[in-house]
Amino acid sequence: MKILGVLSVILLGLYSAAAVTHSLRYLHSASSGIPGFPGFVTVVLVDGQPFSYYDSNIRRELPRQSWMVQTEDPDFWERRTQSSFVNEQVFKRKVAMIKPRFNHTGGVHVVQLLYSCEWDEETGDIKGQWQFGHNGEDILALDLKTNTWVESTTVASFSYKNEDWVIQLNNYLSQGCPDQLKKYVSHGRSTLMRTESPSVSLLQKNFLSPVRCHATGFYPNRAVMFWRKDGKEIHAGVEKGEILPNNDGTFQMSVDLNLLSDTPEKEGYECVFQFSGVNESIITKLEESNIRTNGRKKLKVLKVELCICVALFYFFKTVYRFTKGPPSHKVPDASSKSAMSCWSAVGQLLVYSPCAPT
């Protein structure tokens, strides 16, 4: 598994997938060549939710959950700040070391370290992870089962070769990290274990576009969404999107249904949203009245404009017949000296204008 780019990781986070699995993840990123972006960033996530944040601009470890502010003593955040400051200095040196090894002295360089632990609250199973990367590519990983390094490139040989340190790291990921995770889950259980149902909408750009079933505002992210017809899940013409985070800590996801042109009927189609491990579903039927689309609004405007054009056509047609008059009417003789006004024929309309002096 490749380590995602620093920007993607910070925006999207890393989320646990199992129904009863909790996770504690640390991401350290040092970068150069990115204008306006902090040279060092640390993000800590608990169950995919931002737990704390540090960067080289603010130089402070900041809590991202209110329950952490209430349960931890003030010295906790001071210790976290000092630890992140030390990591900042270490990672800046890593960036300087890696540049010549990749034969690059300029451009963008991002060095990343991701380590995490997962705890299955139901079975008690523990899993650990440690990965080191450069510019989104894994270059070094630790196999916790064998306590050996897995190198993706020879560039990785510069670092992390101390066997004693490997043992300490393994002990932390299998014991220390899970103990911290259990503590955090206990403190924030009411927040981390909450359930928020989504708002589900059917969207369509125009009548030729796929119908998108969009769910937003749900928590946790352990959920599925699919299309079904006549009670059976369908896969043909269905494209599922990824689960993405919202700014308020909830999530969103979409699944598209591409109806074939020879099957315009929408009867029997339903969009189904389900939380993992929950039998209840949120069902949205595919009906015209449920679909929100800009195309339909444009169609209504087009119909109104067409009606106006038809009305104008009949109006001018009536005016034309009226102004044309009966065939026996003749245009006054404009050459007559006694004429005080002049008439000219423009098309079939008589247009009056003062006579020019003769």
Query: pLDDT (tens digit, 9 = 90+) per residue, 215-266?
Result: 999 998 889 999 999 999 999 999 999 999 898 889 999 999 998 654 557 7
Same domain, residue pair 181 and 45: yes
Angular region, 134: left φ>0, alpha ψ -120 to 50, beta rest: beta
DSSP state at residue 155: G
Of the chain, the percentage scoring pLDDT greater than 90 comes to 45
Cross-strand pairs, 351: 344
More confident residue, 345 or 74: 74
Q: Judge contact between 341 and 355, C-beta under 8 A.
A: yes
Planar angle of CA 228, 231, 232, nearest 5 degrees: 60
Q: How many domains does the chain have?
A: 3
Give buried/exposed letters for 25-45 (b at 16+ CB in 10 A, else e).
bbbbbbbbeeeebbbbbbbbb
Same domain, residue pair 206 and 165: no
Cross-strand pairs, 128: 117
pLDDT, tens only, 75-117: 999 999 999 999 999 888 877 877 777 766 667 888 899 999 9
Same domain, residue pair 153 and 79: yes
pLDDT recorded at residue 312: 55
Domain boundary among 261, 276, 292: 292
pLDDT, tens only, 294-340: 754 444 444 545 555 555 555 555 544 545 555 444 444 444 444 33
Same domain, residue pair 79 and 125: yes
Name the residue with tokens 């979409």: 254
Same domain, residue pair 62 and 184: yes
Q: Does residue 358 sit within a domain?
A: no
Same domain, residue pair 38 and 155: yes
Cα separation of 203 and 223, whole Å?
Answer: 20
Same domain, residue pair 219 and 270: yes
Domain boundary among 129, 162, 192: 192
In 3D space, the residue among 78, 7, 9, 89 whose CA is nearest the CA of residue 44 turns out to be 9
pLDDT recorded at residue 278: 83
Same domain, residue pair 319 and 248: no
Q: Does residue 1 sit within a domain?
A: no
* H helices, E strands: number in the chain: 7, 20
Q: Judge contact between 64 and 53, C-beta under 8 A.
A: yes
Say how many CA atoms lie within 13 Å of 261 toward its Cβ. 2
pLDDT, tens only, 104-114: 666 788 889 99
Same domain, residue pair 143 and 178: yes
Asked whether the predicted pLDDT for residue 356 surpasses 90, the reply is no
pLDDT recorded at residue 165: 82
Give buried/exposed letters for 170-192 (b at 16+ CB in 10 A, else e).
bebbeeebbeebeebbebbeebb
Residues of the domain holding 320? 294-353
Same domain, residue pair 48 and 126: yes
The whole-number average pLDDT for the span 11-38 is 75
Cα separation of 25 and 131, whole Å?
Answer: 12
pLDDT recorded at residue 331: 45
pLDDT recorded at residue 232: 95
Asked whether the predicted pLDDT for residue 33 surpasses 80, the reply is yes
Domain boundary among 259, 274, 292: 292
Asked whether the predicted pLDDT for residue 16 surpasses 50, the reply is no
More confident residue, 139 or 155: 139
Q: Does residue 153 sit within a domain?
A: yes
Same domain, residue pair 224 and 319: no
Q: Residue 220, preceding bond cis, omega within 30 degrees?
A: yes
**CATH code of the domain in which 160 resides:** 3.30.500.10
pLDDT recorded at residue 107: 76
In terms of C-beta density within 10 A (0-12 exposed, 13-18 middle, 19 or more buried), how is residue 106 classed? exposed
Same domain, residue pair 33 and 110: yes
